Amino acid sequence: MIFNRLNKFVIVFLLFFASLGFAQQTAKYVFLFIGDGMGDNSIYATEIYKASLNGQGRYEPLSFSQFPVQSFMTTYSANSLITDSSASGSAMATGKKTNNHMVCIDPVTKEKQETIAEKAKRSGYKVGILSSVAIDHATPASFFAHQESRGDYNEIALQLPLSNFDFFAGGGVHDIGTKSDKNSAAYQIDKYGYKYITTAKEIKDLKKGDTKIVAVNPGTYSGREYYWEIDNRTESIPLSYFTKKGIELLDNDKGFFMMIEGGKIDWALHSNDLASSIYETIAFDDAIKEAVKFYNNHKEETLIIVTADHETGGLSLGNNSNNGFNLGLFKNQKISAQEFERLLKNLKEEERKISFEEVLGLIQTNFGLGDISKGLELNKAEKKWLYEAYANEFIERREVDPDRDYLDHSAEKPLALRVITILGDKAGITWGTDGHTAMKVPVKVMGVGQEYFKSTIDNTDIAKIIIKLMQLPIN
């Protein structure tokens, strides 16, 4: 009898402490940071470049490179070893694979796949979705929308207010329309009680308790994506500020889930514009630092995950050229490839003859190329390659649209992309592609449940682990 009582006591005692251990594995606050297209080499390139600016030795680690867990993730989709953003975003959001170009739709049954953000909202958590590109773009859409084609921007935008999420921020909607048009996103957003705000004052005036907000950076291009960080446009509100504001708005007794995407990292890598990618990655890291500040006050309840949806560009650090390897040369790039294309377009529209020498002068001013004192002398072959593009654009008057879709690349590179290719070659880098690759992507984690990420995972495991740690419904 005594033995049985003792056994029961031991069992109750063990169950009590097991339950305490389980409670300690509950994540009340979860941050999922997705650096679109961000591979291991582009992260390391950013760290090497930072060191060259600050004289900090070989490399200066970003904040998330110092997280206690540093692992990797596979990214293949249901129909391809090389994923796109919508398929990988959907896998991270739902824990299930789908085909490229689909957004949270089962590729066979075409049924909707519920996302962790939707589960979190259903369970009483507050939810925020932030991005530096349009909020109806593939990755952010993967957390609130269900669509067979990621390109159906209007259909995706119409689903935004149906989510009932608390805070959308950063980029805008591709075609917002007007409140008087019942088929527009503006009408739908207003109908479901959301505020669509676009000025710095409105955004800064947001305070704890405000909810159902779509806050759009006043500094965006026509596609509703951020201006480039490297261009230093003062009207732009950084992703770090929106992250900080999101924490202020979402913090509550139940907890929150927040997805923050550095979307323009991918866009720069598609153009093989490493300098622009570096500045986007630094801005992404600044946003992560805001989450780390929050974590430092809520260590027992917070999980921060930093990863990518796929790798873009196939970047190699080192190209076996006589120039060696010196990413510090990118300090001479003062402008993004896109804005340099805009500068050239505006120059071409002037009613006068534009000489090749004048264009070379602009290249030297904005990229340093041609300046012998900087080790950036142009050789005969490089000048010839630049002249061919100059002739296409200034003599034959071929149009180059600086605001073309970031995936729209011709086989014949325009002048701006040739300039950054030459600068990259002199710095010692090589690109494998201007598209996505099948490479594993980094996973960097700190906080509650970080041990679940210690070995290589699949992108579907992101959702599965978050569901476990936030105690979200499986079905």
pLDDT of residue 256: 98
pLDDT of residue 17: 41
pLDDT of residue 362: 98
Alpha helices in 60-152 (DSSP H): 85-94, 116-122, 138-141
Q: Considering the entire predicted model, what is its pTM?
A: 0.94
pLDDT of residue 404: 85
- pLDDT surpasses 70 at 438: yes
- pLDDT surpasses 90 at 23: no
Of 431, 394, 432, give the one whose Cα is nearest residue 415.
394
- pLDDT surpasses 70 at 274: yes
- Burial category of 372 from C-beta neighbours within 10 Å (exposed 0-12, middle 13-18, buried 19 and up): exposed
Cα angle 38, 429, 81; round to 5: 40
Of 88, 117, 87, give the one whose Cα is nearest residue 102.
87
- pLDDT surpasses 60 at 4: no
Segment 192-198 shows an average pLDDT of 97
pLDDT category at 1 given cuts 50, 70, 90 is very low
Higher-confidence residue: 413 or 16? 413
Domain range annotation of the chain: 26-316+436-470, 333-427
Segment 425-438 shows an average pLDDT of 97
pLDDT of residue 322: 75
> For the chain, what is the mean pLDDT?
93
The residue written with tokens 């996302």 in the block is 115
Q: Which residues of 6-24 are buried (b: 16+ CB within 10 A; e: fewer)?
A: eeeeeeeeeeeeeeeeeee
pLDDT of residue 401: 87
Q: Which CATH architecture has domain 26-316+436-470?
A: 3-Layer(aba) Sandwich (3.40)
Conformational region of residue 444, where left means phi above 0, alpha means psi within -120 to 50, and beta covers everything else: beta
- pLDDT surpasses 70 at 27: yes
pLDDT of residue 207: 95
What percent of the chain is predicted at pLDDT more than 90? 88
Report how far residue 379's alpha carbon sits from residue 450's, in angstroms, rounded to the nearest whole number.
51
- pLDDT surpasses 50 at 20: no
- pLDDT surpasses 50 at 3: no
pLDDT of residue 10: 43
Kindly give the pairing relationship between strand 441-447 and strand 69-74. antiparallel
Segment 232-253 shows an average pLDDT of 96
Q: Which sign, positive or negative, has the C-alpha torsion 75, 77, 82, 88?
A: negative
- pLDDT surpasses 70 at 12: no
Least confident piece of the model among 274-288, 307-321, 342-356, 394-408? 394-408
